[in-house]
Chains A and B, each alone.
Chain A
Amino acid sequence: MSILPYLVLSALLFTVGTIGVIVKKNIIAIFLCIELMLNGANLSFVAFSSYLNQVHGQVFVFFVMVVAAAEAAVGLAITIAIYRNRNTLSVDDADIMKW
């Protein structure tokens, strides 16, 4: 079976996620887009793992999942802290760290 459809889907997911990260203003939406990017990459990992008959790719997927979970915990905590302080979820309003 060809690996191509998997890779195309993986690339699509990653690209959609990337564009979302850049164009979205809502922090939650950005988070979801980041998850899309991660899972796009994960799809590539498992596809190659199956294609090459190696277990490495699947192991890496677990690592990515763990990191994604940790990142979600920290990121959501920051999001709540920002919302409490500034009463907004837009990243463009959190821009005081500049020249």
Chain B
Amino acid sequence: MDFLWLVPALPLLGSAINGLLGKRLPKPVISLVACGSVGVSFLVAAGLVLSLIQRAPEERHVVQTLFTWIAAGDFVATAEFLLDPLSAVMILVVTGVGFLIHVYSIGYMHAEDGYYRFFSYLNLFMFSMLVLVLASNFLLMFVGWEGVGLCSYLLIGYYFDRKSAGDAGKKAFIVNRIGDVGFILGILLIFATFGSMEFDGVFRQISQRFPAETGLGILTGIALLLFVGATGKSAQIPLYVWLPDAMEGPTPVSALIHAATMVTAGVYMVVRCSPIYSRAPFALEVVAIVGTLTAFMAATIGLVQTDIKRVLAYSTVSQLGYMFAAAGVGAYSAGIFHLMTHAFFKALLFLGAGSVIHAMGGEQNLLKMGGLRKHTPITFLTMVVAALAISGIPPLAGFFSKDEILWSAWAHGHPAIWGVGLVTAGLTAFYMFRLVFLTFSGEERMDEHTRRHLHESPASMTVPLVILAVLSVMGGWVGLPAWMGVNRFAAFLEPSLRFTALSEHEPASHALEAGLAVLSVAVAAFGIGAAYNLYVVRRESAQALARRFAGLHALLSHKYYVDEIYDALFVNPAVTGSREVLWKGLDVGIIDGSVNGVGRTIQGSADLLKHLQNGLVRSYASWILAGTIAALFYIYSLIRR
């Protein structure tokens, strides 16, 4: 366990080497440093988790203190890493999926300028993310939280010569800052209330001071403020708008940061803070409703997007909504379970999309693809596996995790959330297979030049695809639902939730659970069938449908006009106000005015005073005389008194 610090330190070292020396290193060395550091980090993490598992469940809580970070009076913040089942799952997912994506990037980025810069940022991201999930206090978590935000910004704007990429980076950064204000306020409120920022100290106090389900105002406030941070980082309503634009970054970045790891930080945080949330029922309700709404809304937008990466981006937003819905109904382990399986199949989908884009020479429009099955068979097969997994077809990973969430919603008495979740599952299956069919089947709609260029990606890209496909198939088997046996995943996470007030609900019958599972599979199958019908059997009927519901179609393809509304409500007033009031009024008028005014005053008074120096000796003598007389009078008046 002494090597815990190595897990984040290795990627940091890799980032430093590539960032400082990368310009002079040959590409193979850069790749080796970047992938090697993450790979070794994964091996260390795997070793640590194995030794963690060998302990008794109640001893699975290891804290490694590195150094005292801040010491100011009563306030002490230490740099401490915490390894417990929850962070164990996270570091395995982050380093494992991260390593595969690093390997994939070697092939995907081989022709790009700034190869070393890309890998340096990517490694820095790994470091920040690992600090985030390993931190044992809120302050250190915030360091990682901001670090991943910074790396996200840097990597979205990787193609900095494109204005759209720069704008997307700024949008992501600013929207995340809005969320972070809430997050840091929540942290400060925690410190003000409990006098500590250590997870353990805070949660222990909460479990002792507050009985379960009290819904105390202060806890609700903390929980809601933290959730504001989560909506920013994890792209939930109302702060989800940055994630689809973040697709301007290179595809491996979309896979790693904007699908598999960073955007799940909010879910991780909510689950980590479950001792707080579980005693703030109102906040939990908000989390569940926001998650469910986001899941549904993003899925409907995903139905009509034509950019392959944007479909996946909205799908990510939607799946994150599922995870929040799970946390919101109190099924924390189901949320983390879905986080893990989602990391597998969504990373796979993005990497597959990257492989398609690679083959298409940079084209991302689904309507210009088609018939790629013959040209890119491995990508096709792995993408189908991922699509089946996300649709929730047994026995793939997504079935177990999504069903766990739906079942938890039902069992914890939220039938409305269950219903919306079920509909969303159908929509998910539909848009996922719409993407698959538009890309891989039908006639080849690209131009002649692109068609001749079509090729399967190199092994460095296809091997990670295959590994992720295997994980997408088998990843769910660690958490078989209760009706199939023991849910080992939930049991494994239990020590991390020891301060959580888990709500007791009546043990429902396994038959009902199995029946609902069959129902959700049927809905997913219906979605797939509808997609097959519309996009393979009768191509023209999709357009006919779009024409028939032209208003709805326009609403969806314009993403509910949310960006336009935000522009009108927040962005344009801010821009106009900044330009007209702050710049032209305050800056030019008051700040520049005062500086120039000081200059003008001095100049004007100097213009008057300069006439004193007229070169006439006699006038100088007169002034000396006058001064002397004045001085004498002054001294005289002092003496007289």
Interface residues of A (CB under 8 A from B): 18, 21-23, 25, 91-92, 94-99
Which chain B residue shows the least CB distance to A98?
B615
> A95 near B621 (CB under 8 angstroms)?
no
Contacts of B615 in A (CB 8 A): 94-98
Distance of A36 from chain B, by nearest CB (Å)? 14
A12 to B640, CA, bound (A): 24
Interface centre among A21, A91, A99 (most CB of B within 10 A): A99
Is B209 on the interface with A (CB-CB < 8 A)? no
> A22 near B616 (CB under 8 angstroms)?
no
6 closest residue pairs by CB, A with B: A98-B615, A95-B615, A99-B610, A91-B617, A97-B615, A98-B614
Distance of B612 from chain A, by nearest CB (Å)? 9
A99 to B615, CA, bound (A): 8
Complex interface residues of chain B between 600 and 638 (CB less than 8 A to chain A): 610-611, 613-618, 621-622, 625
A60 to B615, CA, bound (A): 33
Contacts of A18 in B (CB 8 A): 625
Which chain B residue shows the least CB distance to A95?
B615
A22 to B620, CA, bound (A): 9
A18-B625, A22-B625 known; A92+B618 contact, CB < 8 A = yes
> B613 near A98 (CB under 8 angstroms)?
yes
A23 to B619, CA, bound (A): 10
Distance of A16 from chain B, by nearest CB (Å)? 13
A91 to B617, CA, bound (A): 7
Distance of B55 from chain A, by nearest CB (Å)? 88
**Can you list 10 A-B contacts (CB < 8 A)?**
A18-B625, A21-B621, A25-B618, A91-B618, A92-B618, A98-B613, A98-B614, A99-B611, A99-B613, A99-B614
Contacts of B622 in A (CB 8 A): 22
A97 to B617, CA, bound (A): 10
A71 to B622, CA, bound (A): 20
A95 to B611, CA, bound (A): 13
> B613 near A22 (CB under 8 angstroms)?
no
A96 to B615, CA, bound (A): 6
Contacts of A23 in B (CB 8 A): 618
Distance of B75 from chain A, by nearest CB (Å)? 61
> B621 near A22 (CB under 8 angstroms)?
yes
Contacts of B618 in A (CB 8 A): 21-23, 25, 91-92
A99 to B622, CA, bound (A): 19
Contacts of A92 in B (CB 8 A): 616, 618
Contacts of A96 in B (CB 8 A): 615
A21 to B623, CA, bound (A): 12
A94 to B617, CA, bound (A): 8
Interface centre among B611, B618, B625 (most CB of A within 10 A): B618
A97 to B618, CA, bound (A): 13
Contacts of B611 in A (CB 8 A): 99
Distance of A41 from chain B, by nearest CB (Å)? 13
Contacts of B617 in A (CB 8 A): 91, 94-95
Distance of B78 from chain A, by nearest CB (Å)? 66
Contacts of B613 in A (CB 8 A): 98-99
Which chain B residue shows the least CB distance to A25?
B618
A55 to B214, CA, bound (A): 100
Distance of B525 from chain A, by nearest CB (Å)? 95
Distance of A61 from chain B, by nearest CB (Å)? 22
A97 to B614, CA, bound (A): 8
Distance of A69 from chain B, by nearest CB (Å)? 22
Distance of B122 from chain A, by nearest CB (Å)? 66
Contacts of A97 in B (CB 8 A): 615
A96 to B613, CA, bound (A): 10
A18 to B618, CA, bound (A): 11
What 19 additional pairs, Cβ within 8 angstroms, besides A92-B618, A96-B615?
A18-B625, A21-B618, A21-B621, A22-B618, A22-B621, A22-B622, A25-B618, A91-B616, A91-B617, A91-B618, A92-B616, A94-B615, A95-B615, A98-B613, A98-B614, A98-B615, A99-B610, A99-B611, A99-B613
Which chain B residue shows the least CB distance to A91?
B617
Contacts of A99 in B (CB 8 A): 610-611, 613-614
> A95 near B625 (CB under 8 angstroms)?
no
Complex interface residues of chain B between 15 and 43 (CB less than 8 A to chain A): none
Contacts of A21 in B (CB 8 A): 618, 621
Contacts of A95 in B (CB 8 A): 614-617
Contacts of B621 in A (CB 8 A): 21-22
Distance of A17 from chain B, by nearest CB (Å)? 11
Contacts of A22 in B (CB 8 A): 618, 621-622, 625
Which chain A residue shows the least CB distance to B622?
A22
Distance of B398 from chain A, by nearest CB (Å)? 86
A94 to B625, CA, bound (A): 21
Which chain A residue shows the least CB distance to B607?
A99
A25 to B619, CA, bound (A): 11
Distance of B608 from chain A, by nearest CB (Å)? 12
A25 to B617, CA, bound (A): 10
Contacts of B614 in A (CB 8 A): 95, 98-99
A25 to B614, CA, bound (A): 16
A88 to B621, CA, bound (A): 20
A91 to B616, CA, bound (A): 7
